Structure 1
Amino acid sequence: MDEPKTRAARRAATAQRILEAAQAEFGEHGRDGTTVRAIAQRAKVDPSLVLQHYGSKNDLFALAIQMPRESSEDTVADHLSEVLDLRLGGLPPETRALVRSMLTAPEAARVMRDFLDERVANLARAGHQSELEAALTVSSILGLTIARHFLELEALKEISEDQLEETVRPWLTRRPPTP
């Protein structure tokens, strides 16, 4: 890839590298498990540049988890499939701790509520779901996560890739009938 020539182009390229590194780090380690230093290391920049470009880790997180405003139905479906894969796969320790403690620790409840509210707003902003539909989608994924990893519901213990493709993904991404 050619190096950007102007200062503005180099700055934009650095900001994009940081954002992509943040998306990868947040995806792998969650918000609380990700550090500015880890984002900077992945982006191959000094940690001060992360803060220069994005202000704070929380501001960067809010940007990193947003879907494009002009996303297509396919983009939304792909995003939901990725989230489903993450939640049905092995949960990272920090996610497991947060979900386990969200009903007993007010701070964990606030963190989870804030995260889920952002996910609902993000889906609704994408324009293919109302806020209620987005809340139901997000709640369904949380329910699947709890049923599979904490309650170990028998029917969800050993979901095959075929079952995911034939049942779970279509159910999660289906559009309700319009009145």
Structure 2
Amino acid sequence: MDEPLTRAERRAATAARILEAAQAEFGAHGVDGATVRGIARRAGVDPSLVLQHYGSKQGLFELAVRPAPELTEDQVPQHLAEVLDLRLRELPPATRALLRSMLTSPEAASVMGDYLRERVQNLARTSDRDDADVRAAVLTASILGMTLARHFLGLTELQRVDAGYIAEVVEPWFAELL
């Protein structure tokens, strides 16, 4: 028989459920379209609990779209392959929320800008070329562009083929850039 959860464990589980619901709501509606009530409804909690756990919708948004922790240099090439694969398939809710909101919300734009700069720096560190930072920026922007074109703009040529095929087409180009 399972032992009953402690109060702290129940609180942590509720907070995690709210965060997951927020990622889905922000992904579906963007930061401006999502509401605390919608997040609470999706999480199965009272709206006051959303604010109790996260303080504000904006605070929750910032946590919901926070990028993954910094990578080591050895992890960057594998991470790049995984990012490309993920961005061409289904977007995680946090990524969808950030992308949907980055052009209308200064906070989302700031989070995305910080994330992209971090990616560029990590990629540039893996190359000894003089122009590694420019090459890394082109690569990062290319992945962002493919993500937007496939998932938000519905570019037919990117939607009608398998994500694996697209990866095969672009991976040699990406490798040459770095």
TM-score tier (shorter) = 0.5 to 0.7
State how 1:97-116 maps to structure 2 within 5 Å.
108=104, 110=106, 113-116=109-112
The one-letter code matched in structure 2 to 1:166 is E
Q: In structure 1, what is the Cα distance between the partners aligned to 2:173 and 2:64? A: 23
In structure 1, stretches of 5+ residues that fail to align are 103-107
Secondary structure of the residue aligned to 1:66 is: coil
In structure 2, stretches of 5+ residues that fail to align are 126-132
Q: Does the 8 A contact of 2:89 with 2:163 survive in 1?
A: no
Show CA shifts across 1:4-29 (max 9, x none): 52211111111111111112222333
CA RMSD, Structure 1 to Structure 2 (Å): 4.3
Q: 2:167 aligned with 1:165, yes or no?
A: yes
Report how far residue 54 of structure 1 moved. 0.8
Distance change (3 Å), C-alpha of 1:19 and 1:6: same
Counterpart in the other structure of 1:41: 41
Higher mean C-alpha displacement, 131-140 vs 5-14: 131-140
Report how far residue 45 of structure 1 moved. 0.4
Q: In structure 1, what is the Cα distance between the partners aligned to 2:87 and 2:162? A: 16
2:87 aligned to 79, 83, 92, which one? 83
Q: Does the 8 A contact of 1:121 with 1:134 survive in 2?
A: no
Report how far residue 46 of structure 1 moved. 0.7
State how 1:1-179 maps to structure 2 within 5 Å.
5-69=5-69, 77-85=81-89, 95=100, 108=104, 110=106, 113-120=109-116, 123=119, 128-129=122-123, 136-144=138-146, 156=158, 158-168=160-170, 170=171
Distance change (3 Å), C-alpha of 1:176 and 1:162: closer
Show CA shifts across 1:57-102 (max 9, x none): 2211111122442766556654553334458xxx99x94xx79xx6
Report how far residue 47 of structure 1 moved. 0.9
Distance change (3 Å), C-alpha of 1:83 and 1:161: closer
Distance change (3 Å), C-alpha of 1:69 and 1:5: same
Q: In structure 2, what is the Cα distance between the partners aligned to 1:175 and 1:135? A: 14
